[in-house]
Structure 1
Amino acid sequence: MATGDGAGSYAYIGSFTTAGGLGVTKAAVDPGTGALTVLGSNDEVADPSYLALSADGALLYAVSEADQGAVAAFRTDGEKPELAAPPVPVHAAGPTHLTRYADHVLTANYGSGSITSVPLTADGTLAAVPSGILQHEGSGPHPRRQQGPHAHQVVTDPSGRWVVSVDLGTDSVRVCALDADGAPLLHRETALRPGSGPRHLAFHPEGRIAYVINELTTSLTVCRWNPEEGRLNPLSEADLLPRAPAGDALGSEVVVDPRGRFLWTATRGEDVISLFTLDAGGERPTLVGTVPCGGHWPRELALSPSGRHLYTANERSGQITWFAVDRESGTPRQLGSVETPAPSCVVFGDR
């Protein structure tokens, strides 16, 4: 019999409070069906659009995607997340993403086109002052979306040696580390196709291939990743959709099967999940087809820790929808949804 996602597991949902969202929401995850049951929410931080857990799961870090951006830490041991301390300003506009890296939390600041590093204290909470900011430079050919840099994601590579930032405005991916003072330091920048608008990146489980989802061209760029050198090399590009979109379509998220057999992407406007199969090395994704995302405007796509359930955060229709993933084909089958206004992110923890 197939096992579920583990008894006592939880999901944390970020949302846009300025669009009616509940802030940071905690939900119980049914171990068999993947169904979510909302337990409680905290709206003290404006627009906590992206979340990440501490190593032990006791703290949840959230950006505040505001003009005066900030990052906050919540305690996870109650039925609703509770602020551990006042939010810390990141001295940048519109942080959209964050990651833990080398005893710091780093934020990708879309509005300012920068990366901010905030040290962690001994108990895992955030220091009151950032340790540094890396300002991205450049632009792209899109007349409205690429007039300057727009850092959209920052993620730690599987080796733990590097942090990688994806910039939609400059059509590039930057590889960084921290200097002796904890400030982000540029190691190398990789250019992608002009006008593609790279948004997010996910690694193959073997750690040598990375997949970049491009928002503006609704495409996927396959890259080889060298963790020893901190080098990203583009190999090929694939369309997210089997045909030209009927209207506006924006790629939003990419996730990879923990066994390395499948890859899924979400596309807003078309409101679909695309399924790709992967070859043994992960270098050649093959588009199999698409399924409806279960709502409108899938901003986020998240895979359960077991890989057996897939979730969409359907921002404009206001629900999290979950799917069973067929183990042999990778096809998502919709099982249910829970109403939650303006959701933007789902992450999983065990407390």
Structure 2
Amino acid sequence: MSTSALIAAGGYSRSGSGRGPGLELLRLTTGHDAGGPSGTAPTVERLATVDLPDPSFVLWSADGSLLYAVLETSPTRVVAVRITADGSSAEIVGDLALDGSGGCHLAPGRSAGTLLVADYGSGTVETVRLDDDGVPVELIDVDDHHDRSEGQDPHPHQVVALPGTEALAVPDLGLDRVFLYRQDSAGQMGLTGEIPLSRGSGPRHLAPDHESEQLHISCELSGMVATAARRSVETSRTAPTALNGTALSWSVRSMIPASGREGDNALSHIELADDDGMLLVANRGPDTISLLSLTMMRPQIVAEIEVGAHPRHFTQLGDLVLVAAQEGDRIDVLRRKDETLSIAADPIPAPSVSCLAVRP
């Protein structure tokens, strides 16, 4: 028995040393469910490409019919691509220019029919309205982190909905803070709090557990994983709240190196495994993926494996870990089993690949 998944791979195509086509659709077939047994190598079929300038992050719609891409351009653009059921054809159906520049991440809004965009270049978080067909049609809100930068250079890098709460979290690499927002029914974003980190941390991405009791933050500039623990606070109209209305706060309780290798480490993506007991982290510099156990008082590295140069992003498919190695021009295919990581197949060629997303 075999299973297959459609993978969207975004990659740099214009700026710097961009060598990719922009967007590529791949069909990954495995021998068995959940990635197959050890030693069973997945196979890859290339289906379609879309010429886009520097898509830095991609996101599927809930029904898998549309793929959204944020372009790291000036101005930032959000593109919607309609994908056929078999993945053999792709058509651009929406292309909206925003006010900000250097878009690096997008996520579904809490308010229905919205997308949230982090602009690394302009230091802004923008809210986009979608029409009834899911196509981006209007910029409806801009939050400028310069308003609270105190002379520093803001670089918001991700937007994440925190499970079990009403909050949205935005790590800002330039301001060494994670900003907490609430989005109202009209789609407008309001700041409700922040999580300060030590100067020079550079928070890039974060991974909340299933109830957001802990937030694990990849710190690009320090090479550390910070863990912030949640606590209840006195009721406040502006504080982030749990779904039951309890006011919440988070504070950093530990910071540990994300790699056991020597040398500088510019962390990129971080993600929990499906059981919330393990954490995966991408290390640029060592060019490795680390697996951390969360069963102790603080995260602990239990496995680390080499991948292609500059692992910018990764995603999980069953027990497979697919790694976008930007400067290695490849997608590494790893297998996670318990507390181990191993190579599951030969790398998949993918020039300047920046991000990966599995179709739902």
Distance (Å, rounded) in 1 between the aligned partners of 2:11 and 2:276: 30
Gaps of 5+ in 1: 141-145
Q: What does residue 302 of structure 1 align with?
A: 315
User: Are positions 1:133 and 2:142 aligned together?
Assistant: yes
Gaps of 5+ in 2: 32-40, 232-240
Show the 5 A alignment for 1:175-186: 175-179=180-184, 181-186=186-191
Distance (Å, rounded) in 2 between the aligned partners of 1:164 and 1:36: 35
Q: What does residue 122 of structure 2 align with?
A: 112
Q: CA deviation at 1:122?
A: 1.4
Q: Residue type of the partner of 1:116? A: E
- Assess, with a 3 A threshold, how the Cα gap between structure 1 residues 16 and 334 changes in structure 2: closer, same or farther: same
Q: CA deviation at 1:173?
A: 0.5
Distance (Å, rounded) in 2 between the aligned partners of 1:180 and 1:258: 30
Distance (Å, rounded) in 1 between the aligned partners of 2:273 and 2:215: 13
Identical counterparts, % of pairs:
28
Distance (Å, rounded) in 2 between the aligned partners of 1:292 and 1:334: 13
Distance (Å, rounded) in 2 between the aligned partners of 1:261 and 1:254: 14
Q: Residue type of the partner of 1:297? A: H
Q: Which of residues 310, 316, 319 in structure 1 aligns to 2:327?
A: 316
Q: CA deviation at 1:268?
A: 0.9
Deviates more, 1:72-81 or 1:12-21: 72-81
Runs of 4+ in structure 1 over 6 Å off: none
Q: What does residue 236 of structure 1 align with?
A: 254
Cα deviation digits, residues 271-318 of structure 1 (max 9, x gap): 1111211117xx62111242101x1111112111x2x00011110121
TM-score by length of 1: 0.88
Q: What does residue 69 of structure 1 align with?
A: 76
Deviates more, 1:16-25 or 1:164-173: 16-25
Give the secondary structure class of the aligned counterpart of 2:136: coil
Distance (Å, rounded) in 2 between the aligned partners of 1:81 and 1:309: 26
Q: CA deviation at 1:181?
A: 3.9
Deviates more, 1:201-210 or 1:23-32: 201-210
CA contact (8 A) 1:175 1:231 kept: no
Q: CA deviation at 1:115?
A: 0.3
Q: CA deviation at 1:160?
A: 6.5
CA contact (8 A) 1:171 1:195 kept: yes
Give the secondary structure class of the aligned counterpart of 1:130: strand
User: Are positions 1:265 and 2:287 aligned together?
Assistant: no
Q: CA deviation at 1:139?
A: 4.8
CA contact (8 A) 1:63 1:71 kept: yes
Q: Number of residues paired by the alignment?
A: 330
Show the 5 A alignment for 1:1-351: 7-18=3-14, 19-32=18-31, 33-43=41-51, 45-77=52-84, 78-85=87-94, 87-101=95-109, 102-103=111-112, 104-127=114-137, 129-137=138-146, 138-139=148-149, 147-159=152-164, 161-179=166-184, 181-225=186-230, 228=242, 229=247, 231-245=249-263, 248-279=264-295, 284-293=298-307, 295-304=308-317, 306=318, 308-326=319-337, 328-350=338-360
Give the secondary structure class of the aligned counterpart of 1:241: coil
CA contact (8 A) 1:24 1:81 kept: no
Cα deviation digits, residues 51-98 of structure 1 (max 9, x gap): 11111111111101112111111112141432112x111210101000
- Assess, with a 3 A threshold, how the Cα gap between structure 1 residues 205 and 182 changes in structure 2: closer, same or farther: closer
Q: Residue type of the partner of 1:253? A: H
Deviates more, 1:249-258 or 1:74-83: 74-83
Q: Residue type of the partner of 1:11? A: I
Q: Residue type of the partner of 2:76? A: G
Distance (Å, rounded) in 2 between the aligned partners of 1:275 and 1:287: 6
- Assess, with a 3 A threshold, how the Cα gap between structure 1 residues 192 and 35 changes in structure 2: closer, same or farther: farther
CA contact (8 A) 1:321 1:338 kept: yes
Deviates more, 1:164-173 or 1:267-276: 267-276
Give the secondary structure class of the aligned counterpart of 1:92: coil
Give the secondary structure class of the aligned counterpart of 2:78: strand
CA contact (8 A) 2:160 2:170 kept: yes
Instruction: Return the structure number with greater strand share.
Output: 2
Q: Residue type of the partner of 2:356? A: V
- Assess, with a 3 A threshold, how the Cα gap between structure 1 residues 81 and 160 changes in structure 2: closer, same or farther: farther
Distance (Å, rounded) in 2 between the aligned partners of 1:241 and 1:218: 8
CA contact (8 A) 2:334 2:341 kept: no
Distance (Å, rounded) in 2 between the aligned partners of 1:31 and 1:337: 15
Distance (Å, rounded) in 1 between the aligned partners of 2:132 and 2:194: 32
CA contact (8 A) 1:205 1:259 kept: no
- Assess, with a 3 A threshold, how the Cα gap between structure 1 residues 117 and 171 changes in structure 2: closer, same or farther: same
TM-score by length of 2: 0.86
Q: CA deviation at 1:231?
A: 3.0
